[in-house]
Chains A and B, each alone.
Chain A
Amino acid sequence: MRIVVDLNRCQGYAQCVYLAHEVFRLTGTEALTYDPNPDDARRLQVERAAAACPVQAIMIDRLDGAERGARS
């Protein structure tokens, strides 16, 4: 799956880190890093993290592979 975090919006509440620590990490107290293309098996975790984000900064792919058109 594919995600992107709007890090302008992110304020480091770290709810995502608690809910999906394999995908989201804090460096220090506020700087968030994350895996933009986590394994599909983590989708539920990531969706929970996105829902729990107090500033709604986590955006998730709304298309599956077949609909994207472009191939890498």
Chain B
Amino acid sequence: MTLVATLAELVSDFRANGRIVIVGASLAGLRAAEALREEGFSGSLTIIGDEPYEPYDRPPLSKQVLKGWMPAEHTLLPRFREVDAQWRLGVAATGLDRVARQVRLADGDQIPYHRLLIATGTRARPWPNPAEAALEGVFALRSRDDAARLQQALATRPSRVLVIGGGFIGSEVASVCRELDIPVTLTERGPAPLVGALGGVIGEIAAQMQRDHGVDLRCGVSVSSLEGDAAGHVRRARLSDGTTIEVDVVLAALGSIRNVEWLQGSGLAAGPWGVGCDAGGRAFDINGVVTDSVYVAGDVARMPHVLYEYQFLAMEHWDNAVFGAEVAAHNMVNLEPHYRPHLLLPGFWSGQFGVNIKSVGVPPFGDEIIFTQGSVKDRSFAAAYGRRGRIVAAVTFDHGKWLEYYARLIEQSAPFPPPPPGWDRPDIMKPVPAEFPAPGVPTAIPDVVLTGHDPNERRAEFRPRGH
């Protein structure tokens, strides 16, 4: 038998008799399982999830669920095909032995695999003081249970809600509070909300939007401490500028922590910015050498991106979970030269204060911004981000129909400033600095982070200002 024929037989044997384990039972884990079956994998498939629920969708949690339009359990994801898997829900993976090829579970079970997909995602970064975080009325928002608890608290009509952190989750929750006519204060350590993800120019527009909707927005300020009453319920927050506010609900919206602790000692390139992998989803080991049996997808993955100078990107976006899972699944049951790359042009959306904010590309990669369509005053516009004379991202406020135009330009590495599409041009079109915070300046962590060229590079941990 020729070598080529032997390899082909190995692939078809693996597809029929292999064992695949997916750790993570959320969007990426589910779509990967479906894609594996779609690709013709008929071997054994196990899906492990630490939450007791079958896969659900998270974006509605900070919007329609908090508003009380529907309960948090109304977010189960649709299924597109049978996956015929063993589901191990409600039990976390606690370790990985790559020599024995086993995943260790919290209940002591060892699950053997031939190929493994890591899709453990992220969790909400908790308020850093554990005693204060344990006060009743202090919340984080990531899971379905988090959303159900916060929704209940909002339904009791609190006298004031404090949102700590002006990223997307914090801003969306502040928006829901105003829609429910609940007084809300939002503190942001940076100069404006959304500054980490979209820069200071757009952040200033978001700040004005929040103030116009009655949010008590305090920028350049952090929360020094939270204080409770005798019953252990939060009542007061002390701010770094010396002021105090009376509150009875607090949301810590401090960004996310990647769920990589269970990989300690596994010898994989796993750290605070996620699990390093190639653009085909194959995990790197700690030496930066690609593995053959471990794959990564979703929020926890960080991979080099061809459009962004091959920098490693960690993309906490919905489409990254879906497409990353499909690519990893394909590559798990194929061999070179049939590998596929995950060449996603990242995109996200955020509904807040009645405005649809959408983006494509990687805004923090840019250093200049130009308004290309519409009107900032009407909060209905498009703007493009540039770096070294080429367009790298775009953002729209209620101008989502135009985003595809900019996406095509970004994919082609078109010049910046881009040619305007010839419709509702603003009076002034001139690039200005996009005003992203310098690396290391504490602010809300953007959903797309540039994590450097080295898969093992580590960066500073979250440190609240004034501590």
The answer to whether A and B assemble together is: yes
Which of chain B's residues have a CB closer than 8 A to the CB of A28?
351, 354-356, 398
Least CB separation from A68: chain B residue: B79
Given A4-B57, A10-B400, is A37 in contact with B76 using a C-beta cutoff of 8 Å? yes
A51 CB to nearest chain B CB (Å): 16
Given A4-B57, A35-B64, A36-B75, is A63 in contact with B356 using a C-beta cutoff of 8 Å? no
Which of chain A's residues have a CB closer than 8 A to the CB of B78?
1-4, 59-62
CA–CA, A28 and B87, complex, Å? 40
- Interfacial residues of chain A within 13-39, with CB under 8 A of chain B in the complex: 25, 27-37
B319 CB within 8 Å of chain A: yes
Given A36-B57, A72-B53, is A31 in contact with B354 using a C-beta cutoff of 8 Å? yes
| B79 touching A8, Cβ below 8 Å | no
| B76 touching A2, Cβ below 8 Å | yes
- Interfacial residues of chain B within 50-67, with CB under 8 A of chain A in the complex: 52-55, 57, 59-60, 63-64
CA–CA, A68 and B33, complex, Å? 12
CA–CA, A3 and B75, complex, Å? 9
B83 CB within 8 Å of chain A: yes
A26 CB to nearest chain B CB (Å): 9
CA–CA, A3 and B76, complex, Å? 8
| A33 touching B351, Cβ below 8 Å | yes
Which of chain A's residues have a CB closer than 8 A to the CB of B75?
36-37
| A2 touching B79, Cβ below 8 Å | yes
CA–CA, A64 and B80, complex, Å? 10
A13 CB to nearest chain B CB (Å): 8
| B57 touching A8, Cβ below 8 Å | no
Least CB separation from B318: chain A residue: A8
A10 CB to nearest chain B CB (Å): 7
CA–CA, A4 and B74, complex, Å? 11
CA–CA, A1 and B70, complex, Å? 14
Least CB separation from B67: chain A residue: A33
A53 CB to nearest chain B CB (Å): 14
A5 CB to nearest chain B CB (Å): 9
| B77 touching A4, Cβ below 8 Å | yes
- Interfacial residues of chain B within 318-362, with CB under 8 A of chain A in the complex: 318-319, 347-349, 351-352, 354-356, 358
A7 CB within 8 Å of chain B: yes
| B349 touching A8, Cβ below 8 Å | yes
A35 CB to nearest chain B CB (Å): 5
- Interfacial residues of chain B within 30-63, with CB under 8 A of chain A in the complex: 47, 52-55, 57, 59-60, 63
Least CB separation from B83: chain A residue: A69
| B82 touching A63, Cβ below 8 Å | yes
**8 pairs of A and B residues whose beta carbons are closest in the complex:** A31-B351, A28-B354, A61-B78, A30-B356, A31-B356, A70-B54, A2-B78, A70-B87
Known: A10-B400, A33-B69. 5 other contacts (CB 8 A): A6-B319, A7-B59, A70-B55, A70-B87, A70-B89
Question: What would 27 A/B residue contacts be, using CB atoms closer than 8 Å?
Answer: A2-B76, A2-B78, A2-B79, A3-B78, A4-B77, A6-B318, A6-B319, A7-B59, A8-B358, A10-B349, A12-B401, A28-B356, A30-B356, A32-B351, A33-B64, A33-B351, A36-B60, A37-B75, A37-B76, A59-B78, A62-B79, A62-B80, A68-B79, A69-B85, A70-B47, A70-B87, A72-B73
